[in-house]
Amino acid sequence: MTEPSTPDSPKPVAAQPRNPLHGVTLQSMLEALVAHYEWVGLCERIQVRCFCLDPSINSSLKFLRKTPWAREKVEGLYLFMLREQRRNR
């Protein structure tokens, strides 16, 4: 005899107090980078077409969600920007 199936309860998300990317969406990362570097500066630092030719948040998000290596570069630049901002305070 099998037991009645019960829905699995969602596992609690572990707190990550030292992870600066925890809870930050890709969209908010990209918006912060564009506000800090503008599209031209972003294109100079990460040379991908979605930043250089007719850039927009939506087209960049579509590309970054499909391309892990580009997303890693964006995350790295975001972390660099945060460190740079902390140093300048």
Residue 14, pLDDT score:
66
Are 49 and 41 a contacting pair, CB within 8 Å? no
**Interval 21-65: pLDDT, tens:** 888 999 999 999 999 999 999 999 999 999 999 999 999 999 999
Closest CA to 42 of 2, 5, 80: 80
Q: How far is CA 86 from CA 46, 51, 75, in A?
A: 22, 25, 17
Q: For position 7, what pLDDT does the model report?
A: 54
In whole angstroms, what is the distance from residue 67 CA to residue 9 CA? Answer: 31
Superfamily of domain 26-88: SAP domain (1.10.720.30)
What's the CA gap between 71 and 68, in Å, rounded? 5
Domain residue limits, the chain: 26-88
Q: pTM for this structure? A: 0.79
